């Protein structure tokens, strides 16, 4: 329930001004009530600040409604309706603040640390009391929030049971009776503790000094207390309204011997402020011998040593200030009641002491906060830098580089341009001697946009890179290879010694720009023979090197078919041809066949900027796959090239490592090993394939591996096996190794051994077996995996 919800007053309507006046007038007492009801687990500093915050938030926002005609006031009702309302709000908030936070419940305002008042760098807490206050604080901490509220209402506010129950119910307590029972238990415990504790006269002598504490019913401030029946909780000899037992009916706070109206007990009907021995109007005890005499005879409140019910002497007395057996009495070294301790400085959150917080931790937190503020300021400045949109830098993100080297790399005037006649006289033939070609090489605006997008690609730029290729900005002014319009797009090709970068944007605007990276370091004459300049509608166009004399298209799946010429324009851009990298099926595999000064080269598109070179032959001496045997083998293995597509492949070499006579006279099988080398030098892929005698049947994949040195220059040895079905329907395990193997063996589901690099063992359908072999030096090798 919100602390601002308007609850009808039990007495009558309450104005905001009336509630404010009551809060200001009784502010110390209200803060003390909140401090006592709040859970001690919050800590003294937070309890102090929270108590002040709860009281300051207890004013209503508008007039609190109430019955138009107030009900008859009861004796236990508070005198001031404004104070009664504010006190109820304080209790309600203090009880809410003690509730635990639940995972699926919305927290209430009182459960959060207060925003105001707030003290920086200091810890505030009330003055430290004695052992009695510490004991009472520990006992209060064992009570629930409603139990503490009931104890405070009874002991500090001097409310009777009916009023305590009503105030607790108005404050939102579900079971006020249980809260009152907790307060009763604490009262009993306090009384028993006082009985067991030492009194001032414990040494057997008399005590003539004043009492060290004031017991309930003394001169302590009582708020809104009214005389009338139902106030007492004592068990005297007759009905009464005193806080302690009386000897007969009366309204005094201390026991009397008969009915009376005094604040202290009397022996009969009296109207005096202090009890006397007989009827009269005296304000103080008489000196004669009687119930309240100051002599040595028994007296009710005498200061002498004679025994009496309330005497200060050595005899027993139920409420004596010096008696040895007084349950609530307190001598010089004795205990006092818990209700009286509620008025002590230990529980006064308005009289405070101040101490500093942890200075070392505060210094560390200050440094961390300063660093965080500086980081946020820098990030805000970077995020707030305006961009150029689609203007000068096109799709580039906001600039972050402000140094001469970075600015020179983005300057279109600093781009390197190789003259057309430089490559014939150069000692090397690679991308570094490609001339700048294309119809837009002089378009500085286009080059500026391309360089800016390269350095800072925006979120709308479609970017791709081959594995292992860095995608950062250029380290310096790059070399311009091409700039022109191809298939309705403005295309720019750069080379920085490590990478080839392709920038493309539609001719109708800069929206939909694309940026592609490909690693090309260490490219030789064949590796730099062509680059992909455009992909559109499943077709691909190449930009050929200036030393390429002829370009043609050859279908790998049709080895007997002659290649057909591929036209090029004045800049070396070829006509479009269907790309196998984007084909859904393996019906044809078009490759680019180029002729340079030393022979024919076969290149294939694998979905990257640089086409891969196709080779045939042993790893130690591969050659371009342009011969008859190579074309025949590649015709059956070409469809397996999809396994190495978009992997940063530089070249693919296939070679025959074994031939095997098949069982049941089915002919001769051929074993191929295909290895794809990458531009980065790592991550090569190896495929072992088996070819049956029929030329129309594609190669069967026997094994594959990634990152293995097998079938390469470093380790040309390879071993693989397949489960093959003979024309008669029988099943066999076929295995073969490179010539270095002297024996093969299968185990597991199929067992068999052979001498030599090939093996054939009868098996069952679906059989699984482990394969290994022995090399010439006796080393055991497992099959490719």
Q: How large is the average pLDDT for residues 442-460? A: 92
Strand partners, 600: 595
Same domain for 633 and 761, yes or no, is: yes
pLDDT at 738: 95
What local confidence, expressed as pLDDT, does residue 9 receive?
Answer: 44
Decide if 425 is inside a domain.
Answer: yes
What are the pLDDT digits (tens) for 699-743?
999 999 999 999 999 999 999 999 999 999 999 999 999 999 999
| 501 and 647 fall within a common domain | no
Residues 778 and 639 in one domain: yes
Q: pLDDT per residue over 204-253, tens digit each?
A: 333 333 333 333 333 333 343 333 333 333 333 333 333 333 333 333 33
785 Cβ partners below 8 Å, 6+ apart?
A: 703, 705
Q: Across all residues in the chain, what is the average pLDDT?
A: 77
CA 422 to chain centroid, in Å, comes to 59
Domain count, the chain: 2
pTM listed for this prediction:
0.53
Domain final position from 478, 506, 523: 523
Strands across the sheet containing 780-782: 752-755, 741-748, 769-775, 780-782
Per-residue pLDDT averaged across 421-439, rounded? 93
Q: How far apart are CA 295 and CA 347, in angstroms?
A: 39
User: Could you tell me if residue 467 is inside a domain?
Assistant: yes
Overall average pLDDT of the 599-605 stretch: 95
Residue 249: per-residue pLDDT:
35
What pLDDT is recorded for position 543?
A: 97
**What value, to the nearest 5°, has the Cα angle with vertex 67 and ends 66 and 71?**
120
- Looking at residue 111, its pLDDT comes to 67
> pLDDT confidence of 106, banded at 50, 70, 90?
low
Same structural domain for residues 639 and 500? no
Residues 518, 390 share a domain: yes
Residue 411 falls inside a structural domain: yes
- End position of a domain, from candidates 523, 552, 587: 523
> Closest Cα partner for 207 from 309, 292, 334, 328?
334
Helix (H, G, I), strand (E, B) or coil at 60: coil
Q: What is the mean pLDDT of residues 641-654?
A: 94
Altogether, the residues listed in the chain come to a count of 785
Q: What is the pLDDT confidence band of residue 17, given thresholds at 50, 70 and 90?
A: confident
Q: What is the pLDDT of residue 500?
A: 97
pLDDT of residue 275: 36
pLDDT digits (tens, 9 = 90+) for 281-323: 333 333 333 333 333 333 333 333 333 333 333 333 333 333 3
- Whether residues 514 and 647 share a domain: the answer is no
Structure tokens at 717: 């040895």
Distance, in Å, from the CA atom of 136 to the CA atom of 345, rounded to the nearest integer, reads: 13
Residue 569: which residues within 8 A CB-CB, separation 6 or more? none
The rounded distance, in Å, linking the Cα atoms of 663 and 545 is 51
pLDDT band at 327 (very low <50, low <70, confident <90, very high): very low
Nearest to 781 by CA among 723, 729, 742, 725: 742
Quote the tokens at residue 135: 């004991």
90 pLDDT higher than 70: yes
The residue among 599 and 315 whose pLDDT is bigger is 599
Average pLDDT over residues 328-334: 36
Q: Which residue has the higher pLDDT, 767 or 9?
A: 767
Q: Name the pLDDT band for 260 (thresholds 50, 70, 90).
A: very low
3-class DSSP assignment, residue 743: strand
Q: For residue 75, name the pLDDT band (cuts at 50, 70, 90).
A: low
In 3D space, the residue among 40, 84, 85, 79 whose CA is nearest the CA of residue 62 turns out to be: 85
**Contact predicate 423/436, CB 8 Å:** no
Q: What is the mean pLDDT of residues 112-133?
A: 77
Across the strands, what pairs with 737?
Answer: 719
CB of 202 within 8 A of CB of 210? Answer: no
User: What are the pLDDT digits (tens) for 656-681?
Assistant: 999 999 999 999 999 999 999 999 99
Residue 772 lies in a domain: yes
511 lies in the same domain as 653: no
Q: What is the pLDDT of residues 517-571, one digit of tens each?
A: 999 998 999 999 999 999 998 999 999 999 999 999 999 999 999 999 999 999 9
- Tell me whether residue 100 is in a domain: no
* Position 748 in a domain: yes
Tell me: do 766 and 636 sit in the same domain.
Answer: yes
In a domain? residue 7? no
Q: Which helix (H) or strand (E) holds 655?
A: strand 649-661
In degrees, rounded to 5, the angle at the alpha carbon of residue 228 between the alpha carbons of residues 224 and 234 is 95
Banded model confidence at residue 491, pLDDT cuts 50, 70, 90: very high
Name the DSSP class of 402.
Answer: -
Residues 639 and 509 in one domain: no
Mean pLDDT of 458-481: 92
Task: Express each pLDDT in 52-68 by its tens digit.
Answer: 988 888 888 777 776 55
DSSP states of 468-534: T---S--SS--EEEEEEEETTEEEEEEE-SSEEEEEEEETT-STT-EEEEEE-TT--TTTTSEEEEE
Q: Is there a single domain that holds both residue 641 and residue 772? A: yes
Taken in order 388, 392, 397, 402, the sign of the CA dihedral is negative
In sequence order, what are the beta bridge partners of 731? 725, 763
Find how far residue 775's CA is from the centre of its chain: 56
Helix (H, G, I), strand (E, B) or coil at 338: helix
Torsion of CA 314, 315, 317, 323, to 10 degrees: 20
| pLDDT for res 254 | 34
CA 295 to chain centre: 79
Indicate whether 184 belongs to any domain.
no
**What's the first-to-final CA gap in the chain, in angstroms?**
70
DSSP SS3 for 640: helix
**Strand pairing report for 612-616 and 649-661:** parallel
Kindly state the average pLDDT of the residues 96-111: 72
Does 515 share its domain with 637?
no
DSSP 8-state assignment for residue 162: H
Domain that holds residue 463: 385-523
Of 102-111, 212-221, 340-349, 484-493, give the lowest mean pLDDT range.
212-221
Which pLDDT band, with edges at 50, 70 and 90, does 590 fall under?
A: very high
Spatial contact of 5 and 88, defined as CB atoms under 8 Å apart: no
**pLDDT for 104:** 67
Among the candidates 492, 523, 554, a domain finishes at 523
């Amino acid at each position: 329930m919100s602390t601002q919800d308007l609850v009808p007053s039990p007495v009558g309507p309450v104005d905001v001004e009336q509630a404010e006046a009551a809060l200001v007038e009784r502010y110390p007492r209200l803060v003390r009530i909140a401090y006592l009801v709040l859970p001690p687990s919050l800590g003294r500093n937070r309890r102090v600040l929270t108590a002040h915050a709860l009281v300051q938030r207890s004013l209503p926002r508008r007039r609190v409604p109430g019955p138009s005609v107030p009900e008859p006031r009861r004796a236990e009702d508070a005198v001031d309706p404004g104070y009664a309302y504010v006190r109820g709000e304080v209790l309600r908030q203090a009880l809410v603040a003690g509730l635990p936070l639940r995972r699926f419940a919305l927290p209430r305002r009182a459960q959060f640390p207060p925003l105001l008042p707030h003290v920086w760098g200091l810890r505030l807490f009330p003055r430290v009391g004695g052992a009695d206050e510490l004991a009472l604080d520990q006992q209060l901490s064992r009570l629930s929030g409603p139990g503490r509220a009931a104890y405070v209402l009874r002991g500090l506010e001097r409310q009777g049971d009916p009023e305590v129950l009503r105030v607790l119910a108005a404050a939102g307590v579900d079971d006020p009776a249980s809260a009152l029972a907790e307060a009763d238990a604490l009262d009993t415990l306090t009384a028993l503790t006082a009985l067991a504790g030492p009194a001032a006269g414990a040494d057997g002598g008399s005590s003539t000094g004043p009492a060290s504490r004031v017991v309930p019913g003394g001169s302590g401030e009582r708020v809104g207390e009214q005389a009338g029946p139902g106030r007492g909780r004592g068990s005297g000899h007759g009905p009464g309204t005193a806080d302690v037992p009386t000897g007969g009916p009366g309204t005094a706070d201390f026991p009397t011997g008969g009915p009376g109206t005094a604040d202290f007990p009397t022996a009969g009907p009296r109207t005096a402020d202090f009890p006397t021995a007989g009827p009269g109007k005296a304000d103080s005890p008489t000196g004669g011998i009687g119930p309240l005499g100051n002599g040595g005879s028994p007296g009710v409140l005498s200061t002498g040593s004679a025994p009496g019910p309330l005497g200060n002497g050595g005899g027993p007395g139920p409420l004596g200030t010096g008696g040895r057996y007084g349950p609530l009495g307190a001598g010089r070294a004795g205990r006092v009641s818990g209700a009286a301790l509620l008025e002590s400085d230990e529980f006064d959150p308005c009289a405070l002491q101040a101490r500093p917080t942890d200075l070392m931790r505060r210094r560390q937190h200050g440094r961390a906060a300063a660093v965080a503020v500086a980081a946020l300021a820098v990030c805000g400045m970077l995020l707030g830098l305006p961009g150029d949109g689609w203007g000068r830098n096109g799709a580039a993100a906001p600039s972050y580089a402000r140094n001469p080297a970075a600015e020179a790399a983005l300057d279109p005037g600093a781009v390197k341009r190789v003259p057309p006649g430089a490559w014939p006289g150069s000692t090397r033939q690679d991308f570094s001697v490609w001339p700048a070609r294309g119809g837009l090489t002089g378009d500085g605006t286009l080059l500026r946009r391309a360089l800016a997008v390269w350095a800072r690609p925006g979120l709308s730029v479609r970017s791709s890179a081959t594995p292992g290729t860095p995608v950062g900005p250029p380290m310096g002014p790059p070399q311009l290879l091409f700039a022109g319009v191809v298939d309705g797009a403005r295309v720019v090709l750069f080379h920085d010694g490590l990478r080839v970068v392709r920038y493309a944007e539609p001719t109708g605007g800069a929206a939909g720009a694309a940026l592609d990276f490909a690693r090309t370091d260490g490219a030789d004459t064949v590796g730099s023979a062509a680059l992909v300049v455009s992909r559109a509608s499943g077709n691909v166009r190449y930009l050929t090197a200036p030393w390429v004399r002829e370009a043609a298209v050859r279908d790998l799946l049709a080895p007997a078919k002659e290649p057909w010429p591929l036209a090029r324009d004045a800049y070396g851009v070829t006509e479009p041809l269907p790309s196998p990298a984007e084909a859904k099926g393996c019906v044809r595999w078009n490759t680019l066949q180029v002729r340079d000064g030393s022979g024919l080269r076969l290149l294939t598109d694998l979905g990257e900027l640089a086409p891969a070179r196709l080779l045939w032959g042993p790893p130690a001496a591969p050659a371009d796959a342009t011969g008859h045997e190579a074309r025949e083998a590649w015709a059956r293995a070409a469809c397996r090239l999809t396994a190495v597509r978009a992997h940063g492949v530089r070249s693919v070499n296939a070679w025959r490592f074994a031939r095997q006579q098949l069982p049941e006279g089915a002919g001769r099988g051929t074993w191929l090993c295909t290895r794809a080398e990458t531009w980065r030098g790592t991550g090569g892929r190896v495929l072992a394939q088996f070819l049956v005698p029929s030329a129309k049947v594609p190669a069967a994949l026997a094994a594959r591996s990634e990152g293995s040195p097998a079938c390469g220059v470093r380790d040309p040895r390879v071993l693989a096996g397949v489960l093959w079905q003979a024309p008669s329907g029988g099943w066999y395990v076929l295995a073969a190794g490179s010539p270095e193997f002297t024996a093969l063996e299968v185990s597991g589901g199929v067992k068999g051994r052979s001498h030599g690099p090939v093996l054939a063992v009868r098996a069952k359908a679906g059989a699984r077996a482990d394969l290994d072999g022995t090399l010439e030096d006796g080393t055991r090798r497992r099959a490719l995996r």
